[in-house]
Copies of this chain bind each other. A is one copy, B any other.
Amino acid sequence: MPARVTTLKELAAQLDLSITTVSRALAGHQQIALKTRERVTEAARQAGYVPNTAARTLVSGRSGFVGMVLPIRGPNLVDSFLGEFVTGLGEGLVSHGTDLILAAAAQGQSELSVLRHVVESGRADGVVVTRIAEVDERLAYLRQRNFPFVAHGRLLDTDFAYNWLDTDGAHAFGEAFDMLYDLGHRHFGLVTIAEPMTFRHLRQDGLAAAIARRGDPSVRLDVATAPRFDRGARIQAINRLLHAVERPTAIVALFDELALSVMEEAARAGLTIPRDLSVIGFDNIVASAYAPPGLTTFDASIRQCAREIGEMLLTIIGGRPAAPLTRLIRPTLVSRASHGPALTGKN
């Protein structure tokens, strides 16, 4: 069995002080004589005393943890941002000594039930919620319980006030359109997914808004929608776009994985990127730099966002701000070689 852990009682006995005094001394209370504080601190250091989390949590009502639900998907589907996100979150929390709890939701188990468990067992002082759905029961639950949380992503319903941080996908997609338009493109394709996530609307709306802003009736947009996890259907949707009688000269993909598929299929169809087709993605995943000719995309700086989410959550947990905290991060264009001037005429 593990070697015994020092407790406050032992420390008190050893110092011939009460538990109370030792506890207060370690907490740095002014009411304890400076000399005593120093003596206690030194003894604690020497004994390698580490306070018991459970006891502290029980009495104080604060666990010192921030929770997050870890969705377990199919065998080969790992959230590609998880590593970055978790690292950023850890980075944001580490200053306060707050740790991160990852509660796995088994396949089939609802994420909400795991979240409820985390919240109601008192494991966490606050939670992070990612991948916001159009109708998100997690957000409804957390608000109803009035439990501290920060969401990575927005609801479409702007009446529902809560703490969120989001990447400004709308702006990015507008920027992509403007850039491509200025390069002479008029016929656009958008590859998107069928999942009921809000980010897809935000991005698509951003694109539509930019088109409307331009006010050029010759601009045309074809949308291809594929289910999120069905690779076959995804490829099919892309190919419908690529093999239409009138092919778009520029394709914007909802995120990099789709953009990479577009580039692969384009290559398979004998198209040269960016001469025959411009492709722009979103996220700047590692592979986008390696896939020839190099994908132009937007960097969402997940790690940085997660870090800020961690900091926001800490703010909320300690002293609840009056108004919800919100933060819109503008992604930066990573210009590689997958976009270029529109092919004019037939050459």
> How far apart are the CA atoms of A105 and B90 in the complex, in Å?
8
Number of copies: 2
**Complex partner residue of A83 from B81, B93, B144, CB under 8 angstroms:** B81
Q: Is A122 an interface residue (CB 8 A)?
A: yes
Q: A5-B122, A48-B120 are in contact. Are A100 and B57 (CB under 8 A)?
A: no
Contact B57–A72 (Cβ < 8 Å): no
Q: Is A106 an interface residue (CB 8 A)?
A: yes
> How far apart are the CA atoms of A157 and B75 in the complex, in Å?
34
Which chain A residues (57-100) contact chain B, with CB distance < 8 Å? 57-58, 63, 65, 70, 72, 75, 78-84, 86-87, 90-91, 93-95, 99-100
- The segment out of A130-138, A195-203, A269-277, A286-294 that lies at the interface is A286-294
Q: A72-B87, A83-B79, A102-B90 are in contact. Are A54 and B122 (CB under 8 A)?
A: yes
Please indicate the chain B residues that have their CB under 8 angstroms from the CB of A120 in the complex. Answer: 5, 48, 50
Chain B: which residue is nearest A77 at the CB level?
B87
Contact B1–A50 (Cβ < 8 Å): no
Interface string of A190-228 (1 = CB under 8 A from B): 000000000000000000000000000000000000000
Q: Is A145 an interface residue (CB 8 A)?
A: yes
Contact A106–B94 (Cβ < 8 Å): yes
Contact B70–A147 (Cβ < 8 Å): no
Please indicate the chain B residues that have their CB under 8 angstroms from the CB of A322 in the complex. Answer: none
Contact A90–B116 (Cβ < 8 Å): no
Q: Is A323 an interface residue (CB 8 A)?
A: no
Chain B: which residue is nearest A263 at the CB level?
B290
Chain B: which residue is nearest A144 at the CB level?
B3
Q: Nearest chain B CB to A103's CB is how many angstroms away?
A: 5
Q: Is A104 an interface residue (CB 8 A)?
A: yes
Interface string of A132-166 (1 = CB under 8 A from B): 00000000000011110000000000000000000
User: Can you spell out 12 A-B residue pairs with CB atoms less than 8 angstroms apart?
Assistant: A3-B145, A48-B120, A51-B121, A53-B57, A53-B63, A54-B122, A70-B86, A70-B90, A78-B84, A82-B82, A94-B106, A99-B123
Binding site for B on A (CB under 8 A): 1-3, 5, 48, 50-55, 57-58, 63, 65, 70, 72, 75, 78-84, 86-87, 90-91, 93-95, 99-106, 116-123, 144-147, 260, 285-287, 289-292, 303
